């Protein structure tokens, strides 16, 4: 998290099936409620659903899991979803009105206060953050791009792969779902 020490942390790997997205969404909602932040549970569940759905549709390989991580800090809750397809980075696009897909990161950009992509040694990690106090710093953070730090993508002890490069995309950009 951006200079925010996690007070609570959870990580779970899921099989690359649509049902896993439902399980991840429900788990994230329950965890945020159990962690004493029920006001963030609905938005967190929505973000997990969108990023998890993108991982299943675009980022998974046969017999390779995707990972969902939640970290609650004093200032923000971070949702991170990693998958093994590092060569397929999110790319912004506008979906046609009759298209069923293509709005996932538009939703993430509208709900989250920040989001970005971190390329890993194997795969990629797409993350987003919700401020604990909603609306604080939202306008400033949409325009601000900050350099990567070791603490930014994931707590160091939480991952076996080191980020190769960090790239923050504008929150309002969008990603093909």
Residue 70 lies in a domain: yes
Supply the pLDDT for residue 59.
81
- Residues in the chain where the model's pLDDT stays below 50: 137, 139-177
Residue 111 lies in a domain: yes
Residue 176 lies in a domain: no
Q: In whole angstroms, what separates CA 64 from the centre of its chain?
A: 18
The single-letter DSSP state of residue 170 is P
Return the HEC string of 138-153: HHHHHHCCCCCCCCCC
Strand, helix or coil for residue 134: coil
CATH code, domain with 40:
3.30.565.10
Per the structure, the complete domain to which residue 14 belongs is given by 6-167
Residue 177 lies in a domain: no
Supply the pLDDT for residue 148.
38
Residue 69 lies in a domain: yes
Residue 146 lies in a domain: yes
In the chain, the number of structural domains is 1
- Tokens representing 47? 């973000």
Closest residue by Cα to residue 84 from 127, 122, 126, 125: 122
Complete edge-to-edge strand list for the sheet that includes strand 76-83: 6-14, 66-73, 76-83, 124-131, 114-120, 163-167
Supply the pLDDT for residue 103.
78
pTM score above 0.85:
no
pLDDT tens by residue, 59-106: 888 889 999 999 999 999 999 999 998 888 876 577 778 877 777 888
- Tokens representing 174? 């969008």
Residue 175 lies in a domain: no
Q: Cα separation of 103 and 1, whole Å?
A: 25
Residue 95 lies in a domain: yes
Residues making up the chain, counted from first to last: 177
Q: Are 155 and 71 in contact (CB under 8 A)?
A: yes
């Amino acid at each position: 998290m951006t200079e925010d020490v996690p007070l609570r942390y959870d990580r779970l790997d899921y099989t690359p099936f649509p049902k896993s997205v439902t399980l991840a969404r429900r788990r994230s909602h329950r965890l945020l409620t159990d962690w004493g932040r029920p006001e963030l549970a609905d938005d967190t569940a929505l973000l997990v659903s969108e990023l998890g759905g993108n991982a299943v549709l675009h980022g998974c390989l046969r017999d390779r899991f995707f990972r969902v991580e939640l970290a609650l800090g004093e200032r923000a809750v971070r949702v991170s979803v990693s998958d093994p397809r590092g060569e397929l980075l999110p790319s912004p696009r506008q979906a046609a009105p009759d298209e069923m897909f293509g709005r996932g990161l538009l939703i993430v950009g509208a709900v989250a206060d920040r989001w970005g992509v971190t390329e890993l040694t194997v795969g990629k990690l797409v993350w987003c953050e919700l401020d604990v106090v909603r609306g604080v710093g939202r306008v400033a953070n949409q325009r601000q791009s900050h350099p990567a730090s070791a603490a930014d993508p994931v707590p160091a002890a939480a991952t076996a792969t080191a980020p190769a490069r960090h790239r923050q995309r504008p929150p309002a950009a969008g990603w093909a779902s």
